[in-house]
């Protein structure tokens, strides 16, 4: 005889309770309880499982334990914008830089889990922390702490990763871009982007208006450049969202101090 599933047992209990309610006098309270039981029973009948099958739970657990995600659902490339190899490389780089806070007798969560929470929120346009907490089955305060630690670690790592190319490297970039795109004397591609703020900055209302952009949200302007391999070579942020792309470009180091970044013979 096949084992009775949790779903079947729940349906039987709900049906028994409903039969008892049908015998009660039709008061407003009883009618409300009948309606609730009917609704829940209908949902159960439409569901295939009340929870994930054990076989699937074991498979998810084995995938997540490799990266320390023992409490969360499996992550895909689309959810953190990195594949397994890229995630592993980033994890190796940020682990020595990861902030350690004074403990209160509690062991800190695996850095891989904290980094995944940080990347997950970045990949979803500043998702509310309670949504991140639901995804990884952690508390909201933990999601906030993981994000702050991730931001601090990546900020420490950035100067060693985002570097302006040397003169020799600029010659290689110029040759590659000329061959691929037929653009002469080009050592990179420049663009601006708005970094959306979760809320208005904690400033006076007149100053807040400077951060309100034409897209109808508060943001910071960022200028970035990359080489022919799409690797970032320059990054400057901090302009208010109301500033135009041209103004931000005019005031960045690329324009104000070109002699520090470009060859003298560049035309």
User: Both tokens of residue 179?
Assistant: 């061959």
pLDDT at 103: 56
Residue 65 lies in a domain: yes
- pTM here is 0.64
Residues 66 and 123 in one domain: yes
Q: Note the pLDDT of residue 72.
A: 52
| Coil, strand or helix at 190 | strand
**Residues 197 and 152 both lie in one domain:** no
Total structural domains within the chain: 3
Euclidean distance between CA atoms 66 and 26, whole angstroms: 56
pLDDT of residue 56: 42
Name the residue range of residue 193's domain.
167-260
> What six digits make up the tokens of 152?
């601090």
In a domain, 55, yes or no: no
Residue 92 pLDDT: 93
Which pLDDT score is estimated for 102?
61
Return the C-alpha torsion angle 160, 154, 191, 77, nearest 10.
120
- Does one domain contain both 32 and 95? no
pLDDT of 158: 92
User: Is 94 in contact with 157 (CB distance < 8 Å)?
Assistant: yes
Is 31 contained in some domain?
Answer: yes
- 266 inside domain: no
- 175 plus 147 within the same structural domain: no
Does residue 39 share a domain with residue 113?
no
**Are 154 and 174 contained in the same domain?**
no
Distance in angstroms (rounded) separating the CA atoms of residues 237 and 214: 18
**Has residue 188 been placed in a domain?**
yes
Contact status, residue 211 vs residue 200, Cβ threshold 8 Å: yes
155 and 176 together in one domain: no
184 plus 229 within the same structural domain: yes
- What pLDDT does 4 receive? 53
Considering the domain boundaries, does residue 53 fall inside one? Answer: no
> Do 65 and 155 fall within a single domain?
yes
Tell me: do 250 and 215 sit in the same domain: yes
Strand 232-240 versus strand 219-226 pairing type: antiparallel
d(C-alpha 174, C-alpha 226), whole Å: 12
State residue 96's pLDDT score.
94
Q: pLDDT value at position 48?
A: 58
- Please tell me the predicted confidence (pLDDT) of residue 267: 46
| DSSP3 helix / strand / coil % (the chain, rounded to 5) | 55, 10, 35
What pLDDT, in 10s, does the model give residues 44-79?
776 655 554 444 444 334 434 445 554 455 566 778
Q: Is residue 193 part of a domain?
A: yes
Return the pLDDT at 177.
93
* Spatial separation of the C-alpha atoms in residues 19 and 30, rounded to whole Å: 12
Is residue 52 assigned to a domain?
A: no
**pLDDT by 10s per residue, the chain, length 267:** 445 566 777 788 878 888 888 888 888 888 888 888 787 777 777 665 555 444 444 433 443 444 555 445 556 677 888 888 888 899 999 999 998 876 565 678 889 889 999 999 988 877 889 999 988 888 899 999 999 999 999 999 999 999 999 999 999 999 999 999 999 989 999 988 888 887 888 888 888 888 998 888 889 888 899 999 989 999 988 888 888 878 888 888 888 888 878 876 654
**Which are the contacts of 72, defined by CB distance < 8 A and separation ≥ 6?**
64, 113, 116, 135, 136, 137
Indicate if 174 and 232 belong to the same structural domain.
yes
Whether residues 120 and 148 fall in one domain: yes
């Amino acid at each position: 005889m096949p084992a009775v599933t949790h779903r079947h047992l729940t349906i039987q209990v709900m049906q028994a309770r409903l039969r008892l309610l049908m015998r009660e006098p039709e008061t407003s309270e009883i009618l409300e309880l009948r309606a609730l039981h009917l609704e829940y029973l209908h949902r159960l009948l439409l569901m295939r499982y009340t929870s994930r099958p054990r076989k699937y739970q074991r498979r998810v657990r084995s995938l997540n334990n490799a990266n320390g995600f023992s409490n969360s659902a499996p992550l895909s490339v689309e959810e953190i914008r990195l594949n397994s190899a890229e995630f592993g490389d980033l994890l190796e780089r940020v682990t020595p830089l990861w902030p350690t806070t004074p403990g209160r007798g509690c062991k800190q969560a695996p850095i891989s889990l904290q980094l995944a929470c940080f990347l997950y929120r970045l990949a979803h346009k500043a998702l509310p922390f309670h949504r991140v907490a639901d995804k990884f089955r952690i508390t909201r305060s933990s999601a906030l702490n993981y994000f702050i630690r991730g931001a601090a670690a990546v900020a420490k790592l950035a100067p060693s990763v985002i570097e302006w190319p040397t003169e020799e490297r600029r010659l290689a970039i110029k040759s590659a871009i000329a061959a691929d795109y037929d653009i002469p004397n080009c050592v990179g591609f420049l663009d601006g982007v708005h970094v959306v703020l979760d809320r208005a900055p904690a400033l006076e209302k007149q100053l807040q208006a400077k951060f309100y952009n034409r897209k109808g949200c508060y943001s910071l302007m960022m200028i970035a450049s990359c080489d022919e391999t799409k690797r970032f070579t320059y990054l400057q942020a901090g302009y208010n969202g109301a500033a135009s792309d041209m103004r931000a470009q005019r005031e960045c180091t690329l324009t104000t101090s070109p002699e520090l970044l470009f060859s003298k013979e560049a035309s």
